[in-house]
Amino acid sequence: MANIKTNENKTKAQSMGLHSEVLTGKTQQKFFNPDEAENFYYWGTYDVDFNKRIDLDVNDLDCKEANKKIDELMSQGYGTIVIKNPQGKHSLGVGVLNKLNLIFEGSLGYFGVGSIDGPTVRINGRVGWSCAENMMAGKVVIEKNAGSCFGAAVRGGDLICKGSVGARTGIDQKGGTIIVGGDAGAFTGFMMQRGRIIILGNVGINLGDSMYDGTIYVGGKIGSFGSDAIESPMTKSDIDWIKRKLKVAEIGENFDISKMTKVVAGKKLWNYDALEPTEKKGAI
Amino acid sequence: MCGIAGLIHRGKSSNVGNELQAMLQALKHRGPDSTGYALYADNDGQNFIMRFKVGENVGEGSSSINEDESVYDKRKELVDDMLKNLGAKVLKEEKLTPYSYRYEMKYDEDLMDFSKKIESIESVEILSIGKSLELIKDLGDAQEVLDRYDLGKVRGTHAIGHARMATESGVDIKSAHPFWGYPFSDVSVVHNGQLTNYWNNRRMLENKGMRFMSECDSELIAVYLAEKMRNGATLEEGMKDSLSGLDGVFTYFVATKDSLGMAKDTMAAKPLVLYESDDLVAMGSEEIAIRSILPHEIDTYDPFDGEVKVWQI
């Protein structure tokens, strides 16, 4: 695509207005071209059948081997994969980019099910730090506790922990919903930019520190508010939305949602007010 | 980043040498430079065990200066002479490596004065003194150190250990963990993190007569707690005080003759996973450390920020 300035024949992508850059000289940049069939192929995804189920024992596999095996099973059309003996190993189930029922019978270590886009994951044990980091879509349910940085930088989907979570839950969150049935540690919602967090229990110090946007709902006590995090009144739509989400999460059936505290960004961060609305959108 | 692990059996003894080895081996990827064990063994409790080194391991990866092994023997002779002068009666001596020894001895006087005099000999460092503490640290992973010092047979009630990735100081034994809580017998510390007010605290503690053997920031925790205890604080009180007295990020374990404690900084910046039952507490930087000794499904959790816990045997 280099030196397209001298090329009089516009590509289809250019004529469609997908890009208008005029490049000169050498460039490594390659634009989306609807003429090329491979551009419609989402690498690493498979059509799977949920009724096709298989058990996978990862006791003797390391995380790379286990993840490769999961990929292999998806390529064979298995839509329900039950992982036996995860034994707290790190990085299991990462990078699944299609619909899948993924069940872990045991606990995961760090970075479990990170960067996923679409699967429904159930973990019958506990998870370590940075579970579901960068998750884009899908649903993850953890039956026990979770470590720190739970749902770091999630962009979408529902991430549910029925137990308690560590510090910095939802750090840098960009979308989606994080739901915690128990308590959460310090710096919950640290620098979050979008999305919502529901904590039914208590939270530690510096809640919502330096948050740009998004909403945090807390059912229990708050250790302290972080910089630029402020309380906002609960509305009926907040209550209705939380009720619906808790039902999906299968927790907090008799929880009194109306008594929750709603925390939002005060939007007084350095130079935030100096930005135009469109710039603000770009900044977050 | 370093990996730490600890366990305490309540009401019984177990093969803590092998158990801690399994836990530290699982954490090897967090710290491949050196490994240390503080094992609280089933000794008879009558005599002091002193472990000391007269030189450094200058093997592969070491940052120490190569020395002729003959100087080790001369330093050992000086230690023997000093012990005689101090009135210590050596009952049993073992040469474990060319540079490290284990002495079983009788001594009834002040340990601080004793330690100062022994360590006044060039390159001699007491790794630990205690009636049940066996503190071993050397370059290599958990398996290598276990084999080198024959720790597989050690039975005891509790233990803490460390897999070190050298960041603040050299790859050598003096900077390796655990650190002995000089001058208290049977006190040891392991740490994962960085302390940012190390020099301020060190100057203050040295002015109070405390001793530092390395430039490793983690040693500060052992000295800090020892100073608090010297002034009458309990272990738990000293640990709670350290949350504000020490600046930086840390998770550390302390062990004494009959207890094991953990503390986590107020930012919860360093990991710790904990398993607690009626007869066993096991904890480590990662769950895989605990899984290495408890393969069946268990409930674990992360302690919260600013948490301090102490368990008794």
Closest CA to A218 of A232, A202, A231, A206: A202
Closest CA to B134 of B152, B109, B159, B112: B159
Strand-by-strand arrangement of the B125-130 sheet = B89-97, B100-106, B48-53, B125-130
A23 touches chain B (CB under 8 A): no
The model carries a pTM of 0.86
The ipTM assigned to this model is 0.83
What are the structural domains of chain A?
1-41 (no CATH), 49-283 (2.160.20.60)
Pairing relation of β-strands B133-139 and B125-130? unpaired
Instruction: Provide, as residue numbers in chain B, all residues whose Cβ is less than 8 Å from the Cβ of A107.
Output: 287, 291, 297, 300
Instruction: Provide, as residue numbers in chain A, all residues whose Cβ is less than 8 Å from the Cβ of B302.
Output: 145-148, 166, 185
Q: What is the DSSP letter of B6?
A: E
Instruction: Provide, as residue numbers in chain A, all residues whose Cβ is less than 8 Å from the Cβ of B30.
Output: none
Question: Number of A:B CB contacts under 8 A?
Answer: 71
B216 tagged catalytic: no
Which amino acid would we find at residue A102? L
Phi first, then psi, for residue B311 (nearest 5°) are -115, 145
Of B266, B268, B306, the CB nearest to A166: B268
Please report how the helices B219-230 and B198-207 are oriented relative to each other, as an axis angle in degrees rounded to 10. Answer: 40
Q: What is the DSSP letter of A245?
A: H
Pairing relation of β-strands A261-265 and A229-232? antiparallel
Q: What is the DSSP letter of B61?
A: T
Q: Which residue has the tokens 């991430």?
A: A159
A148 touches chain B (CB under 8 A): yes
Q: What is the pLDDT of residue B155?
A: 96
Q: What is the pLDDT of residue B147?
A: 96
Q: What is the pLDDT of residue A77?
A: 96
Q: What is the DSSP letter of B135?
A: E
Q: How far is B252 from chain A (nearest CA, A)?
A: 17
* Alpha carbon of residue B10 to chain centroid: 20
pLDDT higher than 60, residue B267 = yes
Count of positions (residues) in chain A? 284
Q: What is the pLDDT of residue A235?
A: 95
Helix H segments across chain B? Answer: 16-26, 70-86, 111-118, 142-149, 198-207, 219-230, 235-245, 287-291
Percent of chain B topping pLDDT 70: 100
A220 touches chain B (CB under 8 A): no
Q: What is the pLDDT of residue B161?
A: 97
Q: How far is A215 from chain B (nearest CA, A)?
A: 22
| Domain range list for chain B | 3-45+131-312
Q: What is the pLDDT of residue A10?
A: 66
Q: What is the pLDDT of residue B7?
A: 97
Q: Do the Cβ atoms of B267 and A167 come within 8 Å?
A: yes
A224 touches chain B (CB under 8 A): no
Instruction: Provide, as residue numbers in chain A, all residues whose Cβ is less than 8 Å from the Cβ of B305.
Output: 167, 185-186, 204-205
Q: Do the Cβ atoms of A107 and B287 come within 8 Å?
A: yes
Q: What is the pLDDT of residue A13?
A: 64
Pull the structure tokens for residue A154: 């999630």
Q: What is the pLDDT of residue B20?
A: 98
Q: Give DSSP secondary structure letters for A110-166.
A: TTTTTT-EEEEEEESS-B-TTTTTT--EEEEEESS-B-SSTTTT--SSEEEESS---
Q: What is the pLDDT of residue B140?
A: 93
Q: Which residue has the tokens 């020894």?
A: B101
pLDDT bracket for residue B3 (50, 70, 90): very high
Instruction: Provide, as residue numbers in chain B, all residues whose Cβ is less than 8 Å from the Cβ of A187.
Output: 267-268
Non-local (6+) Cβ contacts of A85 within 8 A are A57, A58, A59, A105, A106
Of B268, B273, B287, the CB nearest to A185: B268
Q: How far is A168 from chain B (nearest CA, A)?
A: 9
Kindly report the CATH number that applies to the domain delimited by B3-45+131-312: 3.60.20.10
Strand-by-strand arrangement of the B133-139 sheet = B133-139, B34-41, B156-164, B3-9, B280-284, B273-276
Q: What is the pLDDT of residue B65?
A: 79
Helix, strand and coil in chain B, % to nearest 5? 25, 30, 40
At A19-29, the pLDDT tens digits run 666 656 655 55
Neighbours of B207 (CB within 10 A): 8
Closest CA to B55 of B36, B74, B33: B74
pLDDT bracket for residue B159 (50, 70, 90): very high
Q: What is the pLDDT of residue A5?
A: 46
Low-confidence ranges of chain A (pLDDT < 50): 1-6, 284
Q: What is the DSSP letter of A258?
A: G
Q: What does the mean pLDDT of chain B come to?
A: 92
